[in-house]
């Protein structure tokens, strides 16, 4: 959900540009195979296996694919929440009940997103999730995530903290996106684990 955040410095923008260029060179088959592997890895995590509600998102373009995971979670009876981008870049939430419950939405001149078509549950709904899947472009050895630059998930993380909610924070990435160093801002919060097609790495 790109939209420049004032805290998004030049180091982050440069790293993001290079990693997104690498994603754009992937074939549809690469993306599909990775999505299946990511779903398998994520479903093996105890936090995911024991979750009653998971806040996730629908991948677009060459992002690490999430639909296989969303459908597998639903098949297990897990409640899956998906974000809807608000005009101020904050996120509302709705329930995923299958691909038919998604609407294709374009926000201004930005990329089209798939958002829940049904009832809106309010920005606070994310605080009731046991697991929150965060979109990202990279993560480093400290668990610091590089997002798309819109700041939407910084608000989600701040909302979780204010509510005293402690869901497992996971990011789904390709193997080459676990990097040595992500430029950090004071408000950046580490994730608990990264899931890639080849495995899982925990941070705290």
Does residue 120 have a known ligand-binding role? no
**Annotated binding-site residue? 104:** no
Distance CA 20, CA 29 (A): 17
32 is in an annotated binding site: no
115 Cβ contact list (under 8 Å, min separation 6):
58, 82, 83, 84, 85, 94, 102, 103, 105
What is the torsional sign of CA 168, 51, 46, 73? negative
Instruction: For residue 33, say whether it is annotated as part of any ligand binding site.
Output: no
Is 20 annotated as a binding-site member?
A: no
Residue 128 labelled as part of a binding site:
no
Is 149 labelled as part of a ligand binding site? yes
Judge whether 14 is annotated as a binding position: yes
Is 38 annotated among the ligand-binding residues? Answer: no
Cβ 47 vs Cβ 77: under 8 Å: no
Selection from 12, 38, 43, 29 nearest residue 137 by Cα: 12
**Residue 108 annotated as part of some ligand binding site:** no
Whether residue 174 is annotated as binding a ligand: the answer is: no
Q: What is the C-alpha to C-alpha distance for residues 24 and 35, in angstroms, rounded to an integer?
A: 15
Q: Is 96 annotated as a binding residue?
A: no
Ligand-binding annotation for 69, yes or no, is no
Whether the CB-CB separation of 203 and 178 falls below 8 Å is answered with no
Q: Is residue 101 part of an annotated ligand binding site?
A: no
List the binding residues for ATP. 12-16, 145-153
List the binding residues for substrate. 58, 63
List the binding residues. 12-16, 58, 63, 145-153
């Amino acid at each position: 959900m790109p939209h420049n955040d004032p805290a998004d410095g030049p180091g982050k923008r440069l790293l993001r540009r290079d990693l997104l260029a690498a994603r754009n060179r992937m074939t549809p088959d690469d993306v599909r195979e990775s999505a299946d592997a990511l779903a398998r890895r994520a479903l093996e995590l105890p936090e995911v296996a024991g979750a009653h509600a998971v806040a996730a998102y629908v991948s677009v373009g060459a992002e690490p694919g999430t639909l296989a995971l969303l459908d597998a979670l639903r098949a297990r009876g897990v409640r899956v929440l998906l974000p809807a981008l608000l005009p101020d870049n904050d996120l509302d939430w709705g329930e995923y009940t299958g691909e038919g419950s998604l609407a294709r939405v374009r926000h201004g001149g930005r990329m089209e997103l798939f958002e829940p078509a049904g009832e809106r549950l309010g920005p606070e709904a994310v605080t009731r999730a046991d697991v929150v899947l965060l979109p990202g472009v990279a993560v480093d050895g400290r668990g610091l995530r590089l997002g798309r630059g819109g700041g939407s998930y910084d608000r989600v993380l701040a909302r979780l903290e204010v509510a005293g909610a402690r869901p497992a924070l996971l990011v789904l990435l390709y193997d080459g996106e676990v990097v040595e160093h992500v430029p950090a801002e004071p408000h950046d919060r580490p994730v608990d684990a990264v899931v890639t097609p080849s495995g899982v790495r925990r941070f705290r």
